[in-house]
Amino acid sequence: MTATHHQASPEAGVLIDLRDGVLTLTLNDPGTGNLVDAAMSNAIVQAIQTIGDDVKAICLRGAGDDFCAGRKSPTPPKGGAVPSAEKLRHLVAEPALALYDAIKFAPVPTLAVVQGRALGVGAALACVCDITLAQAGARFAIPELERDIPPALVMAALHDRVPLKTLAMLVYTREELSAADALGAGLISYVVSAEDLESTTARWLASFAGNSTVALRACKQYLTHAPSMSATGASAFASHVIGTALSARY
């Protein structure tokens, strides 16, 4: 497949690159630690929702020293009129939840590649992906309660991705976890040295590129939907998925 490049508008703060069936989305505001704002969220959601049939995987990254240090506050400054709960839901909740859902329910496998800080929204973005590869120096935390803000949106993203004990510990204590501790706590999938991060990323993405879109999307469908099914339903769905995937080979 010929390499194709797309870049989001500079104000969006997201680089979008399609190469050999892999769509790479790079948070590109390294001066702030890649703090996410509404424009960046919208760019990622739009890119995922409009992927073509030839896309086999999505890779989420951050430029510079950090993956994502959190979110730029979308709340109106104090001193003006008190915003309604409905306005705050629109400004604060909806963009973040749309972003998490777009990644979680993307039709293809998603890989987060994490270095440096992954804090709050950054931790959610890293861990909501199907596979999370972290450099040994990466750090994970959910610090919102330090500002007396309940991290409900991050919890909504992760409640079905990480053990509840792990999520509760991160939320209440605000403890920062090393990559090794995050691996042990079930937040991430794999840890590599800084020297091996790019080669491991390339190897894993190459493994996606070697498969058909039908097979990869069938795996994603099963991993997305089967956990909420009964044992009987999960078996029936497996039969449907394999039958549909194999029929595409003829």
Q: How far is CA 150 from CA 125, 143, 171, in A?
A: 17, 10, 8
Q: What is the pLDDT of residue 1?
A: 37
Which is more confident, 91 or 11? 91
Give Cβ neighbours of residue 51 (< 8 Å, ≥ 6 apart).
23, 58, 106, 107, 108
Confidence check: pLDDT of 242 > 50: yes
One domain for residues 238 and 176? no
Half-sphere exposure of 59 (CA within 13 A, CB side): 29
Q: What are phi and psi of 208, to 5 degrees?
A: -65, -45
- Mean pLDDT computed over every residue of the chain: 92
Confidence check: pLDDT of 9 > 90: no
Q: What is the pLDDT of residue 74?
A: 78
One domain for residues 38 and 161? yes
Half-sphere exposure of 231 (CA within 13 A, CB side): 0
pLDDT digits (tens, 9 = 90+) for 45-102: 999 999 999 999 999 999 999 999 999 887 777 777 777 888 888 888 899 999 999 9
Q: What is the pLDDT of residue 83?
A: 79
One domain for residues 85 and 203? yes
Q: Which domain does 130 fall in, by range?
A: 4-208
One domain for residues 73 and 115? yes
* pTM of the shown model: 0.91
pLDDT digits (tens, 9 = 90+) for 138-193: 999 999 999 999 999 999 999 999 999 999 999 999 999 999 999 999 999 999 99
One domain for residues 8 and 43? yes
One domain for residues 121 and 218? no
Q: What is the pLDDT of residue 77?
A: 72
Q: What is the pLDDT of residue 2?
A: 38
